[in-house]
Amino acid sequence: MRRLLVLAPALVLLAGCNPSSPAKETPSSAPASSASASEGLPPDPQPARTAECPYLSNETVQDANGQHVTKVSISADEPHPTCFFYRPDGSLQLSVRVYVGKSDVATALVNKAAPVDTSNPASDPAGWKGGYQPAGDGVVYAVAKGEAAVIVTSNQKQSIKARTVAKKAIAALKL
């Protein structure tokens, strides 16, 4: 027992002197947004400018999500920008991300948004697969089919609202 008491302070000092300690590497590590890129996924979209969503009208989103839309921003992503819909108080109420490219990336984006292990299974519209789950104070509904993925995040807790928007976006884009 005495040996442990004598060795304990020495071990603590040695552990603190370790040059490869994670605390010392943290400042030089890459930010979280580039971590997705290193995994082969595109970075999370960001609003780039105020503009109408090219594949969903404000009225469609208002009807589906149950809140008035006062502003819309879109990302710089091509060919389908992510659309960000805002409430009258200026807060984000809903976003719709559309990805078309490699099927493994589409599936990975859906799994990132609604992981298979933790989300409820989603298969609407027919032929699309993914999941839905609570996200923050709302919900995310994410589905993929082939090389396309659609991810809807809503500030509403009812997944039917996000699912309705996803189906409208898929239909409008003929995916």
DSSP string, 71-125: EEEE-S-SSS--EEEE-TTS-EEEEEEEEES-HHHHHHHHHHHS-TTTSEEE--S
> How much is the average pLDDT of 21-34?
33
Percent of the chain with pLDDT over 70: 78
Instruction: Please tell me which residue, 16 or 104, carries the higher pLDDT value.
Output: 104
CA angle 141, 66, 53 (to 5 degrees): 65
Q: What would you report as the CA-atom Rg of the chain, rounded to the nearest whole angstrom?
A: 22
Burial zone of 100 (CB within 10 Å; 0-12 exposed, 13-18 middle, 19+ buried):
middle
Predicted confidence (pLDDT) at residue 37 exceeds the cutoff of 90: no
Reported pTM: 0.77
Listed in sequence order, the residues at least 6 apart from 83 whose beta carbon sits closer than 8 Å to its beta carbon are: 53, 54, 55, 56, 72, 73, 74, 95, 96
Q: Which of 22-26, 70-74, 135-139, 147-151 has the lowest mean pLDDT?
A: 22-26
